[in-house]
Amino acid sequence: MRASEMPLIRLMLAMVALLLAIPVAAQQASSPPDMMDRGTARLVAEKAIEPGTSGDVALVFVPIENWHGYWSNPGDAGQGMMLRWTLPEGWSAGEPQYPVPQTYVVEGLMNHIFEGEHAVLVSLDVPEDATPGAYPVSVFGQWLTCSETLCVPQQGTLSTVVTISALGGEGAEVNPRFAEWRAALPPLLDQQAKFEFAGDFLRVAIPLPASMDLGMPHVFVAETGLVDYAAPQTFYRDGDELVAEIRRDGRGGEAEALSGIIALGSARDGLRFTAMPGEVATGGRVLAAAPGDTPALWSLLLAALAGGLILNLMPCVFPILSLKALTLARAGESEAGAKREALAYSAGVVFACLALGGLMLALRAAGEQVGWAFQLQEPGVVVALLVLAVLITANFAGLFELPSLSITRQGGGSSAFATGLLAAFVATPCTGPFMAAALGAALLLPVLQALLLFAALGLGLALPFLLLGFVPALRSRLPRPGAWMDRFRKIMAIPMGLTALALMWLVSRLGGQTFALVTLAVIAGLVLGVAIVGRLQRAGKMAWPAFGLVAAPFLILAAFALPATFQPGSERADESLLSPVDYSATALAEARASDQPVFLWFTADWCLTCKVNEGVAIEREATREAFEEAGVVAMRGDWTVRDEAITQFLTEQGAAGVPLYMWYPAGGGAPEQLPQVLTPDMLVELAEATR
């Protein structure tokens, strides 16, 4: 080779070397550099593995203080971990096994996180023909690490050496940390769970022994897009099954199978489960709320007592004030009589509250979605209340006499007890200040504690009369009995008559106009009967058999005609200045996703507090204009008739009944529960603050 050819050959070799280096450089460029500035991560092997078996490695993450990582389903925000393994030929990696995550809520968004050091275990399967020796194993991972205000993507290639030994792990060194990390993994239940989609809810029945202490459970669903992560979860104990009821995601996702973790108590204890579609039992005992979510019992009792006391002044209770006033006036005749009347009346009130509360708890335990004042959602109960209101109005007007409402003679303890029953029963439609928290907690507390709250409510309702019966100084301020009482009774016929008219309107709303006309005909017959009774009473003759003869045909008419003419929901379309959307979980999710503020209110035709608030603050031209300018979405839930979705939402918000008012700010911020008594400009000010 001539010397003159050497530079040309060197140039050609350099070009070949450069061409060969391009793929290598490209391959190196495809592996991004490590970025782990918010904590550390490492890959650790447990022990030597025997060929044809499997062994565990651990990805150990340690975020810096006040930062956290995420579970495979991160929740409303965040990102699950992504892994890309580099393994010897024939090896394979299993699914990552996570410890029990924690819940983390920021601005109404629920995340599933890990704080502090946590390890994710992965099983490596080794082929039978693997040769003993040391093998490098690596994984490229991408994950997210967040603080309360900032999220930073992290990534890195984690490596370790796995030893293959014909003796497996016998006599080999074992990493002692694996016992701790493995203990943090929730074991898989040996029985399969069942799940079903029921309306707006996902219901999961998890087989757990009745004797098992559950603490305060929480279900983490592994599949994304199925549930509303931030919504409160309701749990029922049904024998050896724990039934979890979780509000669905507004997008209405479906699944053919389900998996997840049920966390037990405040510690990181839990169980993994898999579930297939199946029938999930309804009913069961509602589990108590978490201690941190429910105020102390003594404060709830005080709230129930104050709520019952204030209930005496609420608009929905005004019709029974006449009964109370006449009872108090009559009790002033003697100290012994006043105490007897006060005790009997108070016993009737407390008994009625306990009976209504106990019945509500029993119905809920049987799977019925009911709340406070549930009886007014039943047309038969409303018709009975209407008949009662008409008869009381007729009595007050002097058409006939009843011992319990008489102002000329004592009716005895039984009459005062009956009056207390009636007073409490009529007073139940509305929840006033202080009552909402107490009655909402009663739906979640153990039965005995819940009944204590209902008793405290009744005691508060009866307290003014109990004090007047036992405190002579207060009783001495009452006017002396006289002719004024007869005039007062006739004046009190006016509010009782207005109550009867309101109940008549409610009957038409619940059952339709034909149903209301038949009810009116029956009431006319009963009024005719008591009018005849009154004439016979004034003549000193036996009266009530005549009432039976007159009323019998009308009662028979009621028994046959009322069920036949009942048309539920035929009068449910109400006009509103705000043109509200009907409430549903899907409608609420869509409204919130629009990034507009949302005003959601729950009402009922039988709730006078609701109607007062609507007249004072909601159905106003100023409110409509403010909502239009601010782009507020108005949404209304009508609870006049039973609606399980509304009842569930009320329960989730800690409310046992209506009214309930919710304000959702624009941009998906945390919702605000407004007071139960609205001021005229409250909604206008909220709307103006969003502009």
Could you tell me if 282 and 161 lie in one domain?
no
Question: Strand ranges (DSSP E) for 182-247?
Answer: 193-198, 201-207, 218-221, 234-238, 241-247
Question: Which pLDDT belongs to residue 435?
Answer: 66
CB-based contact 164:48 (threshold 8 Å): yes
Q: What is the mean pLDDT of the chain?
A: 81
Could you tell me if 76 and 152 lie in one domain?
yes
Number of domains in the chain: 4
Neighbours of 30 (CB within 10 A): 7
Inter-axis angle of helices 335-365 and 318-331, nearest 10: 150
* Position 72 in a domain: yes
- Look at strands 258-264 and 269-277 and give their pairing: antiparallel
* Position 171 in a domain: yes
The CATH number for 235's domain is 2.60.40
Percent of residues, the chain, with pLDDT higher than 90: 31
The CATH number for 611's domain is 3.40.30.10
Is the pLDDT reported for residue 441 higher than 80?
Answer: no
What stretch of H or E contains 175? Answer: none
Could you tell me if 478 and 351 lie in one domain?
yes
Is the pLDDT reported for residue 29 higher than 50?
Answer: no
What stretch of H or E contains 56? Answer: strand 54-63
Could you tell me if 334 and 207 lie in one domain?
no
Is the pLDDT reported for residue 23 higher than 50?
Answer: no
pTM (global) more than 0.85:
no
Could you tell me if 214 and 137 lie in one domain?
no
Distance, CA of 307 to CA of 372 (rounded, Å): 14
- Write out the residue range of the structural domain in which residue 202 sits: 193-286
- As beta bridge partners, residue 158 has 139
Least confident of 140-144, 168-172, 221-225, 545-549: 168-172
Is the pLDDT reported for residue 444 higher than 70?
Answer: no
* Position 152 in a domain: yes
* Position 252 in a domain: yes
Dihedral sign, CA of 523, 524, 527, 528? negative
- Look at strands 581-582 and 633-638 and give their pairing: parallel
Instruction: Give the pLDDT confidence of 620-656 residue by residue, as tens digits.
Output: 999 999 999 999 999 999 888 878 788 878 877 777 7
* Position 547 in a domain: no
Question: Which pLDDT belongs to residue 573?
Answer: 52
Distance, CA of 580 to CA of 646 (rounded, Å): 16
Band (pLDDT 50/70/90 cuts) for residue 403 is low
Could you tell me if 439 and 303 lie in one domain?
yes
| Amino acid (one-letter) located at 254 | E
Q: Please identify, among 237, 253, 286, the residue that sits at the C-terminal boundary of a domain.
A: 286
Distance, CA of 145 to CA of 133 (rounded, Å): 36
Is the pLDDT reported for residue 208 higher than 50?
Answer: yes
Could you tell me if 347 and 468 lie in one domain?
yes
Q: What does DSSP assign to residue 668?
A: S
* Position 427 in a domain: yes
CB-based contact 303:434 (threshold 8 Å): yes
Where is mean pLDDT largest: 17-26, 614-623, 663-672?
614-623
CB-based contact 661:593 (threshold 8 Å): no
Which residues are CB-contacts of 589 (< 8 A; sequence separation ≥ 6)?
228, 249, 250, 251
CB-based contact 654:436 (threshold 8 Å): yes
Could you tell me if 119 and 223 lie in one domain?
no
Could you tell me if 221 and 314 lie in one domain?
no
Question: Which pLDDT belongs to residue 525?
Answer: 92
Q: Please identify, among 286, 314, 349, the residue that sits at the C-terminal boundary of a domain.
A: 286
* Position 550 in a domain: no
Burial 178-201, CB ≥16 within 10 A → b, else e: beebbebbbeebeeebbbebeebb
Six token digits for residue 396: 């007050």
Q: Please identify, among 491, 512, 545, the residue that sits at the C-terminal boundary of a domain.
A: 491
Instruction: Give the pLDDT confidence of 300-345 residue by residue, as tens digits.
Output: 888 889 888 887 776 556 656 556 656 665 555 577 877 888 898 8
Diameter of the chain by CA atoms? 151
Could you tell me if 60 and 200 lie in one domain?
no
Could you tell me if 672 and 590 lie in one domain?
yes
Half-sphere exposure (CA, 13 Å, Cβ side) for 442? Answer: 34
Distance, CA of 648 to CA of 508 (rounded, Å): 26
* Position 599 in a domain: yes
Give the 3-state DSSP-derived string for 190-208, with helices as H, strands as E and coil as C: CCCEEEEEECCEEEEEEEC
Could you tell me if 257 and 113 lie in one domain?
no
Instruction: Give the pLDDT confidence of 476-500 residue by residue, as tens digits.
Output: 777 776 777 778 878 888 888 888 8
Q: What does DSSP assign to residue 250?
A: T
What torsion do the CA atoms of 423, 425, 426, 428 make, to the nearest 10 degrees? 120
Band (pLDDT 50/70/90 cuts) for residue 367 is low
CB-based contact 98:222 (threshold 8 Å): no
